[in-house]
């Protein structure tokens, strides 16, 4: 029983659009409270045409409840689930930075090569976030069985301070939170899927380790080796393509690093890293075994120089997307 209940109002004033996806829009907003309190947050809003679809809304709510207690430095934190005029929204930690897709594009545009140690450092932080999520238990101490299932360039963010954040648990698998049609439908980005995910099989935490390996390979090579012309071609490559000897693709990749990649990307689940902690340990040993290696500050300095501390124009934009969406989100009042 609660000792007491606090009721107050949150008001969110939309500042600008950060990202627009097929089913939702993410805005930067100002959360306003009593005595001129202001906090900058990100607001994830359901598109109006999905607001009436019960399964989608149930999963949107399930995502918010799932990540509410995922409090970790390498996971974007969720603050609040709200509803206004029939539109659901999630208030989240605002990351001043870019996702890996924007990061990779900037590297390509400026013809810069990401240092090997920074590629490994970024992936090690993704592994840290995954290890925490995979081990999460409920209030009764029972494992929640979380599997992200969408570890990809779009869902890994780097803040200009150098923090690496895993985001978007929208298709995550967890007991009792989201409608799970695993084995019937395939969800996620095809070129980052594990073979078992691409083949409509049941997944566990080792699926996320394969995806983390794809991210690492992409960071090192500047390309995703599984990406095809279509999503179906990508899925087929994930399931059937021979995993290359990465030493032949980049001279910076030595035997130990090639072994890490091979263990991440093996289709034999018994040979893959058994947990994200094991992958994290291997990556961190690789970059720190000499006594010194990259830090958040090292990565922050690199990304600030790369972008000049400016969010790329593609990530910004005026608040658009239909009058209905603007009217229901531009000034949201929600009761806690």
The residues assigned a catalytic role are 150
Structure tokens at 123: 């992936």
Structure tokens at 292: 């010194």
- String of DSSP letters for 258-278: HHHHHHHH-S-TTTS-SSHHH
Rounded to the nearest 10 degrees, how much is the dihedral formed by the CA atoms of 159, 160, 162, 165?
A: 0
> What is the three-class DSSP state of 11?
strand
Structure tokens at 180: 């799970």
| Among candidate residues 331, 221, 313, 211, the one with its CA nearest the CA of residue 264 | 211
How crowded is the C-beta side of 263, counted as CA atoms within 13 Å?
A: 16
Residue with tokens 């400026």: 110
Structure tokens at 251: 């001279």
Alpha carbon 122 to its chain centroid, in Å, reads: 12
């Amino acid at each position: 029983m609660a000792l007491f209940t606090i009721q107050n109002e949150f008001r969110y004033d939309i500042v600008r659009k950060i990202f627009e996806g097929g089913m939702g829009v993410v805005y930067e907003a100002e959360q306003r409270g009593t005595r001129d309190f202001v906090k900058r947050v990100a607001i994830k809003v359901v598109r109006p045409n999905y607001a009436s679809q019960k399964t989608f809304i149930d999963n949107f709510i399930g995502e918010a409840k799932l990540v509410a207690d995922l409090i970790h430095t390498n996971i974007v934190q969720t603050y609040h689930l709200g509803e206004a005029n029939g539109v659901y929204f999630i208030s989240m930690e605002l990351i001043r930075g870019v996702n890996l897709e924007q990061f990779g594009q900037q590297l390509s545009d400026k013809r810069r090569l990401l240092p090997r140690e920074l590629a490994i450092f970024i992936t090690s932080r993704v592994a840290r976030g995954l290890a925490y999520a995979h081990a999460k238990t409920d209030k009764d101490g029972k494992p929640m069985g979380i599997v992200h299932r969408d570890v990809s360039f779009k869902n890994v963010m780097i803040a200009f301070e150098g923090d690496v954040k895993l985001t978007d648990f929208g298709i995550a698998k967890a007991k009792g939170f989201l409608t799970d049609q695993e084995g019937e439908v395939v969800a996620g980005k095809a070129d980052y899927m594990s073979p078992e995910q691409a083949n409509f099989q049941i997944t566990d935490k080792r699926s996320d380790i394969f995806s983390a390996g794809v991210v690492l390979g992409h960071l090192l090579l500047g390309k995703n080796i599984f990406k095809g012309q279509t999503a179906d071609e990508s899925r087929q490559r994930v399931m059937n393509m021979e995993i290359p000897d990465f030493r032949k693709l980049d001279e910076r990749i030595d035997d130990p690093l090639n072994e890490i990649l091979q263990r991440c990307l093996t289709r034999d689940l018994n040979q893959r890293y058994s947990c994200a902690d094991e992958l994290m340990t291997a990556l961190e040993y690789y970059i720190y075994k000499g006594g010194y290696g990259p830090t958040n500050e090292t990565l922050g300095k690199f990304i600030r120089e790369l972008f000049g501390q400016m969010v790329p124009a593609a990530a910004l934009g005026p608040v658009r997307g239909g009058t209905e969406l603007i009217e229901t989100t531009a000034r949201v009042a929600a009761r806690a």
